[in-house]
């Protein structure tokens, strides 16, 4: 995307940096020259997205995402483009960095292998946790203690028996208010954080604090990260979260059809940071052309928040068929592909020597889903799913474990340790030629 305002912003900052009179004059002269040179395009439309842009059909042309030069976001809705320019762009032009259309985002389609394994069923074999050597971490007491992990997804079933104690509850929205009403439902922003009744995360699809998961995707991801257990060894029959003392922050932006809006994803990530999340699980993406998503993940890097993205399930080389956010390659990003139980890269997983950092277990992963009302039809609260959506939370859980393992460990150190300690296999097509190994990662801290 063209960035006509960047040159202007750069010249403004150079004016501030150089204090010598000559330099200042030269810089000012250059600025004037640049502005004059840009003049034919420097009308209000210059910050607008091309009206023909449809981003592979994902663009929502009545909705706009505005990024301001001061780093803030604005979200606007106006079906008439000319009206939008007159009413919003002209009065705010001087402070706008860029504007783009809102877009539809999808959770990566996962394959449902089997529905309804029951507790105690040997089909719940936790092969993924075993493959990444999670036992070593549990035995060492490194269990993600206190690390808040945001599952920015389709919501989470916060009543699931293996998740209800694993949620990053907001105590400022719990208990009773001065009128004796339940703070979780009193329609009051009791803790003054800008969100009403957000006792268990926030639902940006319906703009309320009521957390639910119609499709099971976010609940499945959450179980892989932090399903409750106290074991130090791999057992069968129930799910064992990789980081069972991490806290899940549910942030819902994908609705009942697994679709969501980019604007809601941006708001969801802002919310996650505000609530103290150190790691974001992003098991979603698509073709898209979202400058704002790239900007947001770049901002997260500056805020020391790790953004972990699923590589996608097209079985493609991301170098040739990029999907986003998987292919952004930002400083504090990890992009995760998938291996099967054989430990070989599975056919559906996207790959790239430059953009996919390592692989993690993604095939036939049993994890938690809502017991009632899940589209997948589970009546037991467990389901087996396959996809890079499942590989991503293994990496997220591992990062939480490493972050909690030693005082003073930074998220940058955690990311480097995970990258440097993969188990390698010559057949893997990714940056490290490797797959996730928590035990080795811990040893490298």
Q: Which residues are catalytic?
A: 153, 217, 389
On whether the CB atoms of residues 339 and 90 are closer than 8 A, the answer is no
- Closest to Ca ion by CB, 156 or 402: 156
**Least distance to Ca ion from the beta carbon of 436, Å?**
35
Q: How many CB atoms sit inside 10 A of residue 380's CB?
A: 14
**Least distance to Ca ion from the beta carbon of 305, Å?**
20
- Closest to Ca ion by CB, 171 or 303: 171
The token pair at 259 is 């679709």
Question: Bridge partners of 100?
Answer: 65
- Closest to Ca ion by CB, 174 or 409: 174
Helices (H), 39-126: 81-84, 90-92
H helix count then E strand count, the chain:
12, 17
- Closest to Ca ion by CB, 188 or 210: 188
**Least distance to Ca ion from the beta carbon of 148, Å?**
16
Question: Bridge partners of 336?
Answer: 310, 358
Backbone angles phi, psi at 339, to 5 degrees: -115, 160
**Least distance to Ca ion from the beta carbon of 202, Å?**
9
On whether the CB atoms of residues 367 and 383 are closer than 8 A, the answer is yes
- Closest to Ca ion by CB, 193 or 371: 193
**Least distance to Ca ion from the beta carbon of 178, Å?**
12
Give dist(CA 20, CA 243) in Å, integer.
55
**Least distance to Ca ion from the beta carbon of 348, Å?**
40
**Residue count of the chain:** 445
The CB-side HSE value for 303 (13 A sphere, CA atoms) comes to 21
On whether the CB atoms of residues 326 and 309 are closer than 8 A, the answer is yes
On whether the CB atoms of residues 102 and 261 are closer than 8 A, the answer is yes
| Interface ranges with Ca ion (CB under 5 A) | 173, 183, 186, 188-191, 193, 195, 197-198
- Closest to Ca ion by CB, 250 or 325: 250
Sheet holding 202-203, edge to edge: 202-203, 247-252, 148-153, 279-282, 306-310, 333-339, 358-361, 434-435, 423-424
- Bridging pattern class, strands 247-252 and 202-203: parallel
Write the DSSP string, 25-39.
HHHHHHHHHHHHHHT
């Amino acid at each position: 995307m063209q960035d006509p305002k960047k040159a202007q912003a750069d010249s403004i900052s150079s004016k501030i940096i150089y204090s010598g009179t000559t330099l200042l004059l030269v810089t000012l002269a250059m600025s004037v020259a640049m502005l004059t040179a840009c003049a034919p395009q420097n009308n209000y439309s210059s910050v607008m997205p091309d009206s023909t842009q449809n981003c592979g059909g994902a663009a929502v042309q009545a909705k706009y995402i505005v990024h301001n030069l001061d780093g803030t976001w604005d979200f606007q809705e106006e079906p008439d483009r000319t009206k939008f320019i007159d009413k919003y762009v002209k009065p705010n032009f001087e402070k706008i960095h860029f504007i783009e259309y809102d877009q539809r985002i999808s959770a990566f389609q996962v394959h449902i292998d089997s529905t309804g394994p029951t507790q105690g069923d040997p089909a719940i074999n936790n092969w993924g946790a075993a493959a990444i050597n999670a036992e070593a971490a549990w035995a060492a007491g490194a269990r993600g203690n206190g690390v808040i992990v945001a599952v920015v997804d389709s919501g989470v079933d916060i009543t699931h028996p293996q998740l209800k104690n694993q949620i990053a509850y907001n105590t400022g929205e719990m208990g009773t208010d001065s009128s004796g009403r339940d703070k979780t439902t009193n329609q009051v922003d009791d803790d003054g954080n800008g969100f009403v009744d957000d006792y268990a995360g926030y639902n940006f699809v319906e703009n309320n604090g009521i957390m639910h998961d119609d499709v099971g995707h976010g609940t499945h991801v959450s179980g892989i990260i932090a399903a409750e257990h106290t074991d130090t060894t791999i057992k069968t029959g129930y799910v064992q979260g990789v980081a069972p003392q991490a806290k899940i922050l549910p942030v819902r932006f994908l609705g009942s059809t697994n679709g969501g809006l980019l604007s809601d994803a941006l708001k969801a990530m802002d919310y996650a940071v505000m609530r103290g999340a150190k790691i974001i699980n992003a098991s979603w993406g698509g073709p898209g052309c979202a400058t704002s998503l790239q900007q947001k993940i770049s901002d997260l890097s500056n805020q020391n928040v790790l953004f972990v993205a699923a590589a996608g399930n097209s079985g493609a080389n991301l170098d040739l068929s990029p999907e986003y956010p998987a292919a952004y390659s930002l400083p504090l990003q990890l992009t995760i592909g998938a291996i099967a139980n054989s430990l070989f890269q599975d056919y559906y997983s996207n790959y790239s020597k430059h953009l996919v950092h390592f692989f993690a277990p993604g095939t036939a992963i049993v994890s938690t889903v809502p017991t009632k009302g899940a589209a997948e039809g589970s009546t037991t609260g467990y389901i087996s799913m396959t996809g890079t959506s499942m590989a991503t939370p293994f990496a997220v859980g591992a990062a939480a474990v490493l972050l909690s393992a030693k005082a003073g460990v930074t998220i940058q150190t955690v990311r480097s340790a995970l990258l440097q300690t993969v188990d390698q296999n010559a057949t893997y097509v990714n940056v490290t030629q490797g797959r996730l190994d928590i035990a080795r990662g811990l040893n490298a801290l």
